[in-house]
Structure 1
Amino acid sequence: MSADTLDTVDASDTARPADTAPPATCHPAVTFTPLAHRRRRAARLASALRRAALALALFAAARLTGLLVLCLWAEHIGRSPYQLLSRTWDSRWYTGVAADGYGHTLHLASGAVHSDLAFFPLYPGLVRAVTTVLPIGGGTAALLLSWAAAAAAAFGIFLLGERLHGRTTAAVLVLLWGLLPHSVVLSLAYTEPLLTAFAAFSLYAVLTGRWLWAGSLAALAGLSRPNGVAIAAAVCVAAAYELFKRRGHAPWRLWAATVVAPLGWGGYVLWVGVRTGDPLGGYFAVQAGWRSRFDFGADNLGNALDVALRPRELASTSTALIIGAAVLLFALLVVDRENRPPLPLLVYTGVLLLIALGGGGYFESKPRFLLPAFPLLLPLACALTKARPRAAIVVIAALAGLSCCYGTYLLTLAPMPL
Structure 2
Amino acid sequence: MSATDVTRAEVEDPSVDVPVRHEPRWTVHRVGSLLAPALIFLGIRELGLLVLTWMASRNSHSVSEALRSWDGQWFLAIAGDGYDGVPDGLVDAFGHRSAETPLAFFPGYPMVVRWFAAIDGPGGIGLVTSALTVTIASGVFCSYGLARLGTNIRGGSRLTGLVLVALFAAAPMSVVLSMAYSEAMFCAFAVWTLVGVLERRWLLAGLCCALAGVVRSTGAALVVAVCVAALLAVIARRDSWRPWVGALLAPLGLLGYLGWVAYRTGEWDGWFALQQRGWDTGFDGGKATLRFSLDALADARSVLEVATVWFLLLAIALLVVMIVRRVEWPLIAYAAAVLVMDLTSNGLMNSKARLMLPAFTLLVPVAVGLARRRPGTFVTVLCGAAVASSWFGAYALTSWGYAI
Verify same fold: TM over 0.5: yes
**Aligned position for 1:406:** 392
Contact 1:384 1:392 in 2 (8 A): yes
| AA at the equivalent of 1:329 | L
Deviation at 1:344, TM superposition (A): 1.8
Aligned-partner SS, 1:226: coil
**Aligned position for 2:46:** 64
Contact 1:55 1:172 in 2 (8 A): no
CA distance 1:109–1:344, shift in 2 (3 Å): closer
Q: 2:248 is matched with which residue: 259, 271, 288? A: 259
Deviation at 1:266, TM superposition (A): 0.7
Q: 2:192 is matched with which residue: 198, 201, 206? A: 201
2:204 pairs with 1:216: no
Contact 2:37 2:140 in 1 (8 A): no
2:73 pairs with 1:92: yes
CA distance 1:242–1:109, shift in 2 (3 Å): closer
Aligned-partner SS, 1:133: coil
Contact 2:59 2:399 in 1 (8 A): no
Contact 1:160 1:204 in 2 (8 A): yes
**Aligned position for 2:316:** 327
User: Which residues in structure 2 correspond to 1:47-196 (within 5 Å)?
Assistant: 51-85=33-67, 87-103=68-84, 104=86, 110=94, 115-134=101-120, 135-164=124-153, 165-196=156-187
Deviation at 1:380, TM superposition (A): 1.2
386-395 or 215-224, which deviates more: 386-395
| AA at the equivalent of 1:129 | W
2:302 pairs with 1:313: yes
Q: Using structure 2 for the length normalisation, give the TM-score.
A: 0.86
Deviation at 1:205, TM superposition (A): 1.4
CA distance 1:306–1:77, shift in 2 (3 Å): closer
2:344 pairs with 1:358: yes
User: Which residues in structure 2 correspond to 1:365-380 (within 5 Å)?
Assistant: 365-380=351-366
Give me the whole-angstrom Cα distance separating, in 1, the residues matched to 2:361 and 2:61. 35
CA distance 1:128–1:196, shift in 2 (3 Å): same
| AA at the equivalent of 2:345 | G
192-201 or 49-58, which deviates more: 49-58
State the percentage of identical aligned residues: 37
Contact 1:52 1:158 in 2 (8 A): no
| AA at the equivalent of 2:232 | Y
Contact 1:198 1:220 in 2 (8 A): yes
Give me the whole-angstrom Cα distance separating, in 2, the residues matched to 1:213 and 1:360. 34
| AA at the equivalent of 2:72 | S
| AA at the equivalent of 1:194 | M
| 1:301-356 CA distance string (max 9 Å, x none) | 110010122233111111100000000001100111xxx22222122111111111
**Aligned position for 2:7:** none
CA distance 1:89–1:107, shift in 2 (3 Å): closer
| 1:130-164 CA distance string (max 9 Å, x none) | 12223211111110000000010011011001222
Contact 1:95 1:138 in 2 (8 A): yes
Give me the whole-angstrom Cα distance separating, in 2, the residues matched to 1:67 and 1:99. 25
Contact 2:83 2:102 in 1 (8 A): yes
2:382 pairs with 1:396: yes
Give me the whole-angstrom Cα distance separating, in 2, the residues matched to 1:356 and 1:52. 35
| AA at the equivalent of 2:133 | L
98-107 or 173-182, which deviates more: 98-107
Give me the whole-angstrom Cα distance separating, in 1, the residues matched to 2:92 and 2:216. 24
Contact 2:186 2:212 in 1 (8 A): yes
Structure 1 residue ranges without an equivalent (≥5): 1-42
Q: Which has the larger radius of gyration?
A: 2
Q: Using structure 1 for the length normalisation, give the TM-score.
A: 0.83
Give me the whole-angstrom Cα distance separating, in 2, the residues matched to 1:111 and 1:65. 35
Contact 1:235 1:258 in 2 (8 A): yes
198-207 or 49-58, which deviates more: 49-58
**Aligned position for 2:328:** 342
CA distance 1:133–1:397, shift in 2 (3 Å): closer
RMSD after superposition: 2.1
Count the aligned residue pairs.
Answer: 366
Structure 2 residue ranges without an equivalent (≥5): 1-24
| AA at the equivalent of 2:337 | V
